[in-house]
Amino acid sequence: MTQLLFMLQEFMARGGPVLWLIAALIFAIWALVFERLCFYRFQLPDKLQQVSQQWQARSEHHSWCAHRIREGLHSHVLLQIQRFIPLVSALVALGPLLGLLGTVTGMIEVFAVMALTDSSDSRAMADGIGRATIPAMAGMVAALSGFIAMVVLKQTSLQQERQLDHLLG
């Protein structure tokens, strides 16, 4: 375990400070995704049952007032179903941008080393290029993994919305 932590710390140091931002971004994306999936699995069925019971308990379902009540129930649950989905989408889009930021800062280091040494020290350049490419790769991993999670989240959300429509239909 200590070896793994050491390797992780070395990798993070090699990627520069932007890599910590990307790690926090990945953590935030997956925390929100797991929160939504747990909500869909454990809390939403009870909410759907409550809304269905409220709707079925009404004596009439065809008046203008009844349709507005149905819309209100539908909107309330729909907001809960779609909660955090736009935020997850925004965070997924942020991954490649942070990777690009890491690339730019790494290349600045390469140019700074070249300017200070007045030569092309291959070891210093390799470190700078590594610092430039690791965040780019990490940003793409964040975006790809987040995109896959986003697809799963949206599909699950659509299934839950269809179930809600069926219950209140």
Single-letter code of the amino acid located at 31: A
The pLDDT assigned to 117 comes to 75
Q: Is the pTM of this model over 0.85?
A: yes
Phi/psi of residue 120, each to 5°?
Answer: -110, 75
> Measured on CA atoms in the order 159, 162, 167, 168, is the torsion positive or negative?
positive
Q: Provide the H-helix boundaries in the chain.
A: 2-15, 17-38, 44-57, 64-81, 85-117, 122-168
51 and 168 Cβ atoms separated by less than 8 Å: yes
The pLDDT assigned to 106 comes to 85
137's tokens: 């790769």
- Residues of the chain with confidence (pLDDT) below 50: none
Read off the pLDDT of residues 59-100 as tens digits, 9 standing for 90 and up. Answer: 999 999 999 999 999 999 999 999 999 999 999 999 999 999
Residue 62 per-residue DSSP state: S
Domain ranges (residues) in the chain: 17-168
How far, CA to CA in Å, does 124 sit from each of 17, 110, 128?
Answer: 18, 7, 6
The pLDDT assigned to 119 comes to 65
Phi/psi of residue 60, each to 5°?
Answer: -135, 150
The pLDDT assigned to 125 comes to 74
Residue 3 per-residue DSSP state: H
Q: How many CB atoms lie within 10 A of CB 1?
A: 5
